[in-house]
Amino acid sequence: MSPVGDQLRVRCRKFPSLVNCCTLDWFSGWPEEALLYVSRAFLKDVELPSDEVRENLAKMCTTVHLSVEAVSDSFWEELRRRVYTTPKSYLDLIGLYKNTLSKKRAEMNANKNRLANGLKKLETTNTNIAELKVTLAEM
């Protein structure tokens, strides 16, 4: 159970034995090497222009997650409010990137096809106009 959101609090109210009879294990954050390894593993099946782009993208995911952890610590110091960054949030970050990339690629392909169809229509219209000009000149 993640401490993010109200779910843990609600479950603890419904089931008091969760608090009285259980031990909570607190895990430390993942090291940078582990984050980098996970992002490489999840991004290896994504179609990208080169391996250099894939490596830089994996490093960017790691950097973003670590910077969010650092900012959440300063947020706690200033406002006394916790913001949790869990391994699940890191995997969600990578999944969000993959999902957004596929949506944008589909959108780009749709726009490309729309543009190609528009150019074909203009080309056929221009040939029809040229034929009509010839016909009109003959008349």
pLDDT digits (tens, 9 = 90+) for 18-39: 677 776 566 678 899 999 999 9
Output the CATH code of domain 31-138.
1.20.920
- Ranges of each domain in the chain: 31-138
pLDDT mean over 57-83:
93
List, in sequence order, every beta strand (DSSP E) within the chain: none
pLDDT tens, position by position, 2-20: 666 788 888 888 888 767 7
pLDDT given for residue 24 in this prediction: 58
**Distances 98 to 49, 89, 129 between C-alpha atoms, Å:** 14, 14, 46
pTM: 0.71
CA distance 58 to 42: 9
CA distance 43 to 40: 5
Q: Which range among 29-43, 77-91, 108-122 shows the weakest confidence by mean pLDDT?
A: 77-91
